[in-house]
Structure 1
Amino acid sequence: MTRQYFGTDGIRGEVGKFPIVPDFVMRLGYAAGQVLAKNAGTHGKPTVLIGKDTRLSGYLLEAALEAGFSAAGVDVMLCGPMPTPAVAYLTRTLRLSAGVVISASHNPYHDNGIKFFSAHGDKLDDAVELQIEAALNEPMNCVDSAHLGKAKRLDDATGRYIEFCKSTFPNHLSLHGLKLVVDCAHGAAYHIAPHVFHELGAEVVSIGIHPNGKNINDGVGATAPKALIEKVKEEKADLGIALDGDADRLQLVDAHGRLFNGDELLYLIAKARKDAGESVKGVVGTLMTNLAVEKAIQAEGIQFERAKVGDRYVLEKLKENNWQLGGEGSGHLICLDKHTTGDGIVAALQVLSAMKQSQQSLAELLEKVTLFPQTLTNVRYQQDYDWKSDAKLKEAVEHAEKELKGTGRVLIRASGTEPLLRVMVEAQNSQQSKDLAQKIAAVIPV
């Protein structure tokens, strides 16, 4: 059965346009509450945790969700602005029925979304999402007054999560002697991330910590690292740490202003564990993971597999293979022995641990990895265009692959939300990558 509302990471869109409108979000809370109540069986009244990032619309959507859950007879705990991985952690550790995050991650403030975590702190199973979608098609009612859900605030959520993050860093190490610039993207980690690194001993300079409801991800954070690069140089810091709006993405900048993406950091974490004598059976990347990283991981004797783009699919393949490490170039990094989901702060601590234990810089730890140039071109195509059956497109791709002679890759994939084809060509030579991407894009009818 095809999902009508849920995408790879919950339900997302522009605020004020369906489905991110109060009426639908209230019905979503009611539908999810019904499913949770049904699945709870005789285990008592369900309780869900609702967290959000710093978008202005969070107040509106939080109230709508709370009303929907209450109407379904589900109790609610509110924790206010909180990173997505924090909601996953708190849901699991408090033994709650589910966690809900109101966030559009790295998108601008006028977007927002709703995503769910199970009682175990991971993404909801497809079957549960389909149950919620089915319930959304039913009329919304209300339990009787005596059985309405109650709401209360979780006042110590911030402190609980700070201590959890710190617990993922080795006890025998500290960050003393390191000067860090931490960019919180005016997002959900603004009151958390600086404290984590400071309490572990680092000197911390913080940027992106003054949210006003509209400035989330605006010129700061993991998707806009220029501000961090400039601040690292200005402060003569050892390292810059960039999170996105809901703090599940990570990008790092070294003292020279060099930016390191998720692909490189994934390799670094895997290699550091292997060098420390830990068992690293395999690593999961995505279709977009740089070929140089795949080859470098395999050169360490570690298996590597690709999942579809999206941390949801990375997580699925990790569980399928019983592996621990996976991630994306965007900075979603998953360490399943530390957390049930991708966590920017926790991932940064894994990198800092590797640096401290090896007494090497990021550049030194990654000297064996030179990323292949990637050219990504988005082509808007005609609505009725069947790109999978286009002989000219197939011929252009085959020509490109023949020219690459196994030293690069061609990837064509469609956007899941609009009529766009994403043409990616990866090659050892930057100009070759650009030329081949342009040739392929040119045969797509627009």
Structure 2
Amino acid sequence: MRGFRAEILSVPHDPAAAGRDAIVHHGDGLLVEEDGLVVARGDFADLAPRFPGLPIAHFPGRLIVPGFIDAHVHYPQIDRIAAHGEQLLQWLERHIFPAEMAFADRAHADRVAAFFLDELLRNGTTSALVFATVHEGSVDALFEAACQRRMRIISGKVLMDLGPEGLRDTPATGRAESEALIARWRGRGRLGYAVTPRFALTSSDAQLEMAGALLEAHPDALLHTHLSENRAEIEAVAARFTAAADYLDVYDRFGLVGARSVFAHGVHLCARERDRLRASGAGIAHCPTSNLFLGSGLCDLAGLADIKLGLGSDIGAGTTLSLLATMGEAYRVAQLRGQSLDPFRALHLATAGGARLLGIADRVGALEPGQEADFVVLDPRATPLLARRSQGASLADLLFLLQILGDDRAIAATYVMGACAWVRGG
């Protein structure tokens, strides 16, 4: 059993609905961990006497928050981050599909997976919903590396029988390889499986039907795909699926819309799609840096009220693995829509909101007793400018400063299951 003393902040509920009651704050707090789980959390003066002799790591001037949860990211695209030029469909053809073909080589997948997960930890991310590639071995590589690091990672083999030559499966092989991965990894470490059709245009009707059957056969699996990201993409979907009411309806017709469905982007949703997302319990991973980088559009956060919502870095179209920086970009996108994103709500979306979206809110995201002890130690004095601006700042201003001026440099340490997984300067 160990203790961690610092200022502690958690936002287990959405402030858009619960207001300031959503915020849990201890100015001088104590987090008590045993066997990887949170035993207690509260004010140091109240809690410390209950645990005499407890070894305590003290972080004066630092802020402990729950480990960040990346709700949508592509690990095979890490080496194509900041690839110049074009919008979504052309960018995929020019940069991404060639890069993903290399993952037929398991040794390459192992190297990239190890680098990617270490980068997540360096940025304070302890849980993530991750796209792999069409190759079965790309998932094996990621899951093996995640188990070694004790991270909570959800992923699955990409299904794309209409993909380019060299990056294509079939409905039969997609089903067989997905079933094999589920059988091989279910129950191991802190892993979860996601049925992962890339997006509607890269799967035949037969494969989308198979994906729905696979999802139904495995009630512990998520559905992870893309939705309404780019206007040219939406037009191409409408041209192919002429009987569908809209983009979401394409997935709905194959049994892919439900409480376990995570759709990345949702930038250009119509009213019917939003209503259907609310009614089904499906959710959206908001990816602001990606949407800006590819010129896809500005997501309407206000229009997503009462829809499950998390934040995604969406590397490699996204421009940073830092969810602190992603929160700042989400604020800027909201500003361009004439909206305002509260800093506490931004933190919620990157922690407990993301956990709810991924179906893991009982385990991570809020540092509640009984949850896994995944947390980040933030340093408000990480840079000279942050140190200068944070002097005398209120909690709300401090959190906002970290989101606007902070990035990986503000991560002092990352803890996974109560153990230090990364420390600055270590």
TM-score with structure 2 length normalisation?
0.26
Q: Which has the higher contact order (CA 8 A, sep 6+)?
A: 2
